[in-house]
Each structure stands twice: as C-alpha cells, then as structure tokens.
Amino acid sequence: MRFITWNVDGLDKEGLFERTLELIPILADFDVIFLQEVTDEVEEIIKSNMFDFYHYSGKSIREYFVMMLFRKTIVASEPVVNYKPFGNSQMGRGVLFSGVTTKCGQEILFMTTHLESMKEYGQARIEQLHHCFDFMNKTNADKVIFGGDLNARDAEIKSLPAPTLEKFKDAWERCGKDPNKKFTWDLLKNDNKSFGGGFKPRCSDSLTVRNL
C-alpha cells in the first residue's frame, strides 16, 4: 500500500488547470491520497479523472478544503469518512478521518488535516495538533496513518507529550532520513513561487504512523 500527502495550492489560480492535470498521473501511482488546499475546480478535475478511487472531502468553508482518496481495490468495502472542524480555526481548518478495513484484513485509521498557517497562529496550531494526537490516542485503532500540511515548527511538535512522540513515528525518519527527500516544498529547487527579498522557504509536509 502506497501513501502520499500533497498540498495542491488550489488558491493560486495561475496554471491551476494545467498543474492539476499534471498531478493526476503522479497521484494515480498511490493507493491512499491526502490532499490539502483543494478547491472546487481541483476537486472536479480529480473526480473526472480518477475513477478507480473513492473520493471524500472535508469542508468548513467553500473557498478551499481537504480531500482523502482510497483506491477501490485495496479496501474491503466503501469507507465511512467523517469531518470535524477545529473550533479555534480562523482559516476554515479541520480534520478528515476514516477507519478502514483493507482487503488483507488490516484495520487502519487514516487522518488528514491542514493546520493553521503562519507563525502568528502558532498557539492555535499547537492546540489543533494536540487535538489530532489526542483523538488518535483515544481511538481503538491499532494502526494509524496521519498526514497533511501541518505547518508545524519543530518546537510545536516537541510540545506533544513524550509518550505520544514515542508511539507515533515520522515516516521520513522511519525511511532513513534521506536529506534529499526531507522537504516537500523547497523554493531552493522549485520556481513555482516567489517571495520578496529573496526569501526561499523550505517546508516538510508530515506523514506520521503508528504500528506500521
């Protein structure tokens, strides 16, 4: 089973149709897909081109939202997916989740989110991060895969209780910490965005697992 999480940057309308079409064959190589900053236009393109998947969206506002896709051949039956908005979000953020039984009999909780953006919303982001991990700690699911655009700084991750950090492992770290694969959005390599003053951010989307 292959997983991917991707912020599709649907709010940037420049080349959005072409960018999304280019994304389709990349996503189609994976079995479980988490998407953030999806817009209606992006969702329609995905649904129109990815027939082999179940598609689910979680919306607090109309402008953008998160999605979760499951390849039909890997699940025992069509998943039941739920969405819970964050009570403290000023950006329409929430968490999309589903307990899935795979064809081989594994029971896995899948969760994706897009936590509050920007440095000044750090406290709200920390509260959202703790909410997600509290939920995972309370679930009966033995296996968990949680991914998305967390926007979380290292210090914010370290605010989680030590026992939680022990139970949940970052997938990039589990796979050997290859420095060439650390950043999922790197403006030192990509020219699809530009910021004033020569600022070139490097960000890592998160994929966290338990008992996998």
Active-site annotation, residues? 149
pLDDT digits (tens, 9 = 90+) for 86-136: 999 999 999 999 999 999 999 999 999 999 999 899 999 999 999 999 999
Give the Cα-Cα-Cα angle 33, 36, 40 (nearest 5 degrees). Answer: 100
Can you give the pLDDT at residue 148? 95
Q: What is the pLDDT of residue 153?
A: 87
CB contact at 8 A, 30 and 3: yes
User: Which residue ranges form the domains of the chain, and what is each CATH number?
Assistant: 3-175+205-210 (3.60.10.10)
The mean per-residue pLDDT over the stretch 190-204 comes to 68
Write the CB contacts of 174 (distance below 8 Å, at least 6 apart in sequence): 209
Q: Model's pTM, two decimal places?
A: 0.92
pLDDT band, very low/low/confident/very high, at 194 (cuts 50, 70, 90): low
Alpha-carbon distance of 141 to 42, in angstroms, equals: 31
Tokens of 66: 């998160």
Would you say 144 and 168 are in contact if contact means Cβ atoms under 8 Å apart? yes
Q: How confident is the model at residue 174 (pLDDT cuts 50, 70, 90)?
A: confident
What average pLDDT does the segment 52-57 reach? 98
Buried b or exposed e, range 84-119, using 16+ CB within 10 angstroms: eebeebebebbbbbbbbebeeeeebbbbbbbbbeee
pLDDT digits (tens, 9 = 90+) for 4-38: 999 999 999 999 999 999 999 999 999 999 999 99
